Amino acid sequence: MSALAAQPDSKMARAMPVARAVGGRLLQALLTVLGISVITWALLPLAPGDPALSLLEARGVKDPTAQQVAALRDELGLDRPLLVQYVEWLGRAVRGDLSLSYKTGQPVLEELGKRLPATLFLAGTSLLIALALAVTGGLLGAAYHERWPDQLVRLLTQVGVSAPAFLLGLLALRFVVVELGIGKVLSGGQWQYVLLPALCLAVSRAADWAQLLRASLLEAMGANYTLVASARGATKLRVLWRYALPNAALPLLTAVGVGIGGLIGGSAIIEAIFTWPGIGSFVFAAISARDFPVVQGFVALIGLSYVTASLLIDLLAVALDPRLRAGGAA
Amino acid sequence: MSLETPLLQQAQPATTPVAPPRGLWARLLRHREAKLGLGLALLLIGLALLGPLLAPFAPDAPNFRAKLEAPSAEHWLGTDQSGRDQLSRVLDAGRRTLGTALLVLGAVFIIGLVLGTIAGMAGGLVDVLLMRVVDVLMALPSIVLAIAIVGVLGPGFQNLVLALVISWWAYYARLARSYVLNARQRPDVIAARLAGIGWGRIMVGHVLPGVAAQLLIVATLDLGSMIAAIAGLSFLGLGVQPPAAEWGAMLADSRLYFTLAPWLLLGPVVPIFLAVIAANLLGNALRDTLDPGRLR
């Protein structure tokens, strides 16, 4: 968070309204992170079983005595008021201590951190694929409005938005990997096997974004500034690329910001299907092992990355759109 | 776009996004995608409701002499690892998957309507607190929160429903609140206030029908992702538990016989896909029909 907070400083000197908007947005993000911490923490008291007992077993104590459990309960403050427990938990969480995994006895953050790169690689590849498909589809649809490429894009996107990623994953695994022998069932996370799971994860978002981009491109093509550009002799392709796309990109950017959450969330199920060694498949293993601190860490990590991503997207939108920089006068 | 919308709202704050209910069906039936979506939805719901009558076999009756049989005249979709008729199971599962989706969305609809209306009408601290909760819930991807809650509470139908409701209602409450806030500025509502009509009657007569229509559009558009979420969670073993048939849980079973019996995979995949398509078509059509703001 500190790097983010430092970033807008240079801008603040330039324009007050922007500084206020950005400051407000940062405060909002901070409050949201605080709220996410409440939800994350609350998962443990919700869980059945005694955390002290599970933790002792995680530390390798076999058949802990009643005194040992009671001592740890005391040490963890499990008998104190919930509010006190939350504040103490938050104090530890801020310092990066999200307790130990019941199963491995290792710090949760370390365990998740080891697997995060694989998830980010999968989600990032998927994001790139989705964006490439969406921009291609949106441009094709707008350039050939009401002609066959447009009809095709509309049909494909309509089908695409209705295809849940895990269904595509299962079908791809059965009919591409097993039948055609492309890729691997147990991928193990090597980079050359990322394309298939990333594509499955990308399809519904690509279709959604392509529909959105097509619609906003068509709207831009009907606006006065594109009419002027055409009147001044710009080719249709140039109008589309140079004038319509930059204006249509902003709604897409906002949608991408919202969609990133779904991308990270959806990657969990795709990871489970393709046995991709990221935090998703790790958390499902943790759920079956009733390893709740890992589940907590998962929620905290995804919540944080989502808040950060949407914050960056909003700041990017301010940087890209002069109308937003004018201090939200509209 | 962002330049035009606020102007438009300023110019006509009285826009009522509610269509006269009399014309709704007529307009829906003129919509090509709506007809397709409606037809598909009716077909799937009909199959799910009549499932027990149509199913050629009992969905959970094992027949160990007919294990993993390929589709045939007797077993249209083949049989599973215990020799149970896959078609009968797909039909039985449909009732459970679709019923759960409707149950969750119904609960989400009511909670969103009530809390959103309270926030919009009460204002002040109640509003601020409720909307902070909404902000936080919306900052977590619904499916992630649902996975975490059901993962912690333990798998099972009740926990699945609970987890989905908790992770889904926030957007509905925010939508209902903003509609109520908007409606309070509308001339018809102000006029009714000035005429001395109480808030209760104004809500019932002028505000709530509009809120309900808005939420209905969103709920229909959401039906697809809800079906996918239920099937997905059950696929992961977090939702409906065996031996009860559910599309996602059946997919999880089919995975064990992946190469041996691919028809077990296709049996549940096709109805899930059709259900999501039907919901999306219907949702888009409803939005076009009920929300003239988007038509223009």
Better-predicted residue by pLDDT, A193 or B9: A193
Percent of all residues in chain B with a pLDDT value above 90, rounded to a whole number: 28
Position B4 scores a pLDDT of 43
CB atoms A266 and B142 under 8 Å: no
Q: Buried b / exposed e across A176-204, counting CB within 10 Å, b at 16+?
A: ebeeeeebeeebebeeebbebbbbbbbbb
Position B6 scores a pLDDT of 44
Helix (H/G/I), strand (E/B), else coil: A126: helix
The answer to the question of residue B145 being in a domain is yes
Position A176 scores a pLDDT of 84
- With CA atoms as reference, the chain A residue closest to B227 would be A164
Domain of B100 in residue numbering reads as 40-52+85-290
Cβ(B225)–Cβ(B146) below 8 Å: no
Position A261 scores a pLDDT of 74
Q: Taking residues B158-164, report their average pLDDT.
A: 93
Q: What is the CA radius of gyration of chain B?
A: 23
Instruction: For the beta carbon of residue A316, count every other beta carbon within 10 angstroms.
Output: 14
Task: Please give the CATH number for the structural domain made up of A111-326.
Answer: 1.10.3720.10
For A15-29, A174-188, B153-167, B203-217, which range has the lowest pLDDT when averaged over its residues? A174-188
The answer to the question of residue B240 being in a domain is yes
Position of tokens 């906002």?
Answer: A254
Cβ(A277)–Cβ(A115) below 8 Å: yes
Interface contact B10, partner A, CB < 8 A: no
Report the Cα A21 to chain-centroid distance in Å. 24
Of residues A31, A162, A251, nearest to B132 (C-beta): A31
Interface contact B153, partner A, CB < 8 A: yes
Chain A residues touching residue B246 (CB < 8 angstroms) = none
Position B291 scores a pLDDT of 65
Position A2 scores a pLDDT of 42
Helix (H/G/I), strand (E/B), else coil: A181: coil
The answer to the question of residue B146 being in a domain is yes
Q: Is the pLDDT confidence value at B119 over 90? A: yes
d(CA B36, CA B277): 10
Helix (H/G/I), strand (E/B), else coil: A137: helix
| pLDDT, tens digit (0-9, with 9 covering 90-100), for B37-66 | 888 989 988 888 887 777 777 777 777 777
Of residues B148, B236, B255, nearest to A295 (C-beta): B148
Residue A107: strand pairing partners: A100
Position A100 scores a pLDDT of 81
CB proximity list for B242: less than 8 A, separation 6 or greater: B249, B253
Q: Is the pTM of this model over 0.90?
A: no
d(CA A97, CA A87): 13
d(CA B63, CA B85): 9
Chain region(s) in chain A for CATH 1.10.3720.10: 111-326
Interface contact B271, partner A, CB < 8 A: no
Cα dihedral A116, A119, A122, A127 sign: negative
Q: Is the pLDDT confidence value at B8 over 50? A: no
d(CA A7, CA A21): 14
Position B260 scores a pLDDT of 77
Position B294 scores a pLDDT of 44
> B13 falls in which pLDDT band (50, 70, 90)?
very low
What value of ipTM does the predicted structure carry? 0.82
Position A15 scores a pLDDT of 58
Tokens of B210: 């509009």
Q: What is the largest CA-CA distance in chain A?
A: 86
> B290 falls in which pLDDT band (50, 70, 90)?
confident
Q: Taking residues B106-114, report their average pLDDT.
A: 96
Amino acid present at B233: L
* Alpha-carbon distances, residue A326 vs A13, A72, A208, A248 (angstroms): 15, 57, 30, 19
CB atoms A162 and B277 under 8 Å: yes
Of residues A163, A268, A287, nearest to B144 (C-beta): A268
Chain A residues touching residue B236 (CB < 8 angstroms) = 269, 272, 284
Q: Is the pLDDT confidence value at B28 over 70? A: yes
Tell me how many domains chain B contains.
1
| Helix residue spans in chain A (DSSP H) | 2-6, 9-14, 16-46, 51-58, 66-76, 82-94, 108-143, 148-161, 165-172, 195-221, 224-231, 236-238, 245-274, 279-288, 292-320, 322-325
d(CA A286, CA A115): 13
The answer to the question of residue B203 being in a domain is yes
Cβ(A216)–Cβ(A248) below 8 Å: yes
CB atoms A272 and B236 under 8 Å: yes
Interface test with chain A among B97, B132, B143, B147, by most A beta carbons within 10 Å: B147
Q: What is the CA radius of gyration of chain A?
A: 24
Cβ(A85)–Cβ(A78) below 8 Å: yes
The answer to the question of residue B296 being in a domain is no
Q: Taking residues B239-261, report their average pLDDT.
A: 83
Nearest CA of chain B to the CA of A204: how many Å?
A: 11
d(CA B60, CA B1): 55
Better-predicted residue by pLDDT, B273 or B30: B273
Interface contact B136, partner A, CB < 8 A: yes
CB proximity list for A70: less than 8 A, separation 6 or greater: none
Query: Pick from B252, B263, B227, B232: which is nearest to B94 by CA?
Result: B227
Interface test with chain A among B140, B234, B259, B287, by most A beta carbons within 10 Å: B140
Residue B85: strand pairing partners: B79
The single-letter DSSP state of residue B69 is: P
Region for A138 from its dihedrals, namely left if φ exceeds 0, alpha if ψ lies in -120 to 50, beta otherwise: alpha
* Alpha-carbon distances, residue B226 vs A205, A265, B8, B233, B275 (angstroms): 16, 14, 33, 10, 11
CATH number of the domain encompassing residue B162:
1.10.3720.10
> B12 falls in which pLDDT band (50, 70, 90)?
very low
Q: Taking residues B223-240, report their average pLDDT.
A: 90
Q: Do you know the residue count of chain A?
A: 330
Nearest CA of chain B to the CA of A232: how many Å?
A: 23
Query: Pick from A199, A153, A157, A155: which is nearest to A176 by CA?
Result: A199
Nearest CA of chain B to the CA of A290: how many Å?
A: 7
Position B296 scores a pLDDT of 31
Percent of all residues in chain B with a pLDDT value above 70, rounded to a whole number: 90
A-B Cβ pairs (cutoff 8 Å, strict): 136
d(CA B79, CA B264): 8
d(CA B95, CA B93): 5
For A288-297, B10-19, B135-144, which range has the lowest pLDDT when averaged over its residues? B10-19
Of residues A32, A306, A330, nearest to B135 (C-beta): A32
Block means of pLDDT (10 residues each) for chain A, 330 residues, are: 45 62 86 92 84 77 81 80 87 85 85 90 93 94 90 91 89 83 71 87 93 91 85 84 86 84 83 89 88 90 86 83 58
